[in-house]
Amino acid sequence: MVDETAGAHPGGPVFVHVGLPKTGTTFLQRLLRDNRELLAEHGVRYPVRGPATMFHGAIEVREAYQTWGFSREQIGGTWEWLCQQAREHAGPTILGHEILAAATRAQVERVATDLADVELHLVVTTRDLGRQIPAWWQEWIKNQHGEGFTETMERQILPGWDGEGRKSTFWRSQDLRGVLRRWSAAVPAERMHVVTAPPPGSDPRELWRRFADATRVPAGLEVDPGPRSNESLGITEVALLRATNQALDGRLVQPHYGPVVKHWFAESVLSPRTSPRPQLPTEWRERVREMTAAWRDYVEEAGVQVHGSLDDLEPTIAPDDVPGPDDVTAQQIAELAPRVMAEMLLEVTRLRQEGQEARRELAHAQQPRGARRLVRRVLGGVKRRLTNR
């Protein structure tokens, strides 16, 4: 049930941004984090005490410790700290992370209970399924999976489209209609905000402007979008990553897989793509348009606030002459492998040199405090190479 008493509280409105994943969420989170002091000057709070604060808080809500390689003790209390920061702020506060898109009704109820004394808003970013499905498939591969695109469509996406999105991993986090339905028990329609991602080729600041409008960031407050992050891989790079996951065969698990394979190997070594970006093949066009029509009908009937245009959800479909995501040959992978191996060998050499330098400096360290400081500096440099978090 919606708490009708929300509003009589010391804190200002709280906007919980729950994704959907792969809709510019990483871009928005970086802008919020990098510009939190500027936002604070204009009365908007984005509380963090480290680069992964929102992620850790969302893991607590989802109780997904094992999935992400954490223990309850490591990150316990983060969500309550975030809630307390919101309660104490008189203006708008922005919280959230995209893994909350798959929150169950019980987990939604927890958020509503923990924030019962503030005016709770929901913010859902979304984009057209023609771009979303290939992007999600690529992220699926980055998270230890090895299925091809066609296999993913046939096992995850088409059978899981049942109107509720309950049957597959994809639809638990990607069904706009299902997400809005689950959160409707905690947030009334007039406090639900759907932010549509602008079409391909748009000014990257347009997504920020729409998100800012939804979260009461003062109009005209511009931020520097900076360099693009979380770039898409090409179809050959994804094929090599799939083969790597299959060869690993589950031997590298969280919390090590994320920093080493996803963030370093995939997003650093493989990211300078040389092959076409994955796109939705024409054979799935009609089914995806049916799904999109269902989304649009629900959003319009529910009366939620839309920032942008629902026309932006019209699916982007690849031309017939563009290679499909699975159209990669063994020869193409073999041609890519030497470049990738060369980059990895160079990185191993850099790490080896840093280790040798650290050992030499440690041998001459006279004070325990100086030695500890040196170790922290060296290990911090190594960690920055291996992870973006």
* pLDDT (mean) for 31-46: 94
Q: What percent of the chain has pLDDT over 70?
A: 88
Residue 64 counted as domain residue? yes
Q: How high is the pLDDT of residue 45?
A: 97
Per-residue pLDDT band for 372 (boundaries 50, 70, 90) equals low
Q: Is residue 325 part of a domain?
A: no
For residue 32, what is the domain's CATH number?
Answer: 3.40.50.300
Within a domain: 329: no
For residue 186, is it within any domain?
Answer: yes
Of 157, 154, 59, which is closest to residue 389 (Cα–Cα)?
59
Query: What was the pLDDT predicted at 229?
Result: 58
Which domain covers residue 74, as residue numbers?
14-231+285-319
53, 47 in Cβ contact below 8 A?
Answer: yes
Mean per-residue pLDDT, 189-202: 95
DSSP symbol at 206: H
Would 272 be classed as within a structural domain? no
Q: Provide mean pLDDT across the span 17-24.
A: 94
pTM value is 0.82
Say if 362 falls within a structural domain. Answer: no
User: SS3 of 19, please?
Assistant: coil
Q: Quick one: which of 162, 256, 214, 154 has its CA closest to 24?
A: 214
**Which of 53-57, 138-142, 374-378 is predicted least confidently?**
374-378
In a domain, residue 69? The reply is yes
Residue 252 in domain: no
Q: Is 317 or 230 the better-scoring residue by pLDDT? A: 317
Tally of domains in the chain:
1
Q: pLDDT: is 320 or 226 the higher one? A: 320
DSSP state of 214: H
Given a cut of 90, whether residue 383 has pLDDT beyond it is no
Of 143, 144, 172, nearest to 160 by C-alpha is 172
Is pLDDT at 346 greater than 70 in this prediction? Answer: yes
Instruction: Classify residue 296 as left (phi > 0), alpha (psi -120 to 50) or beta.
Output: alpha
The H or E element containing residue 241 is helix 235-248
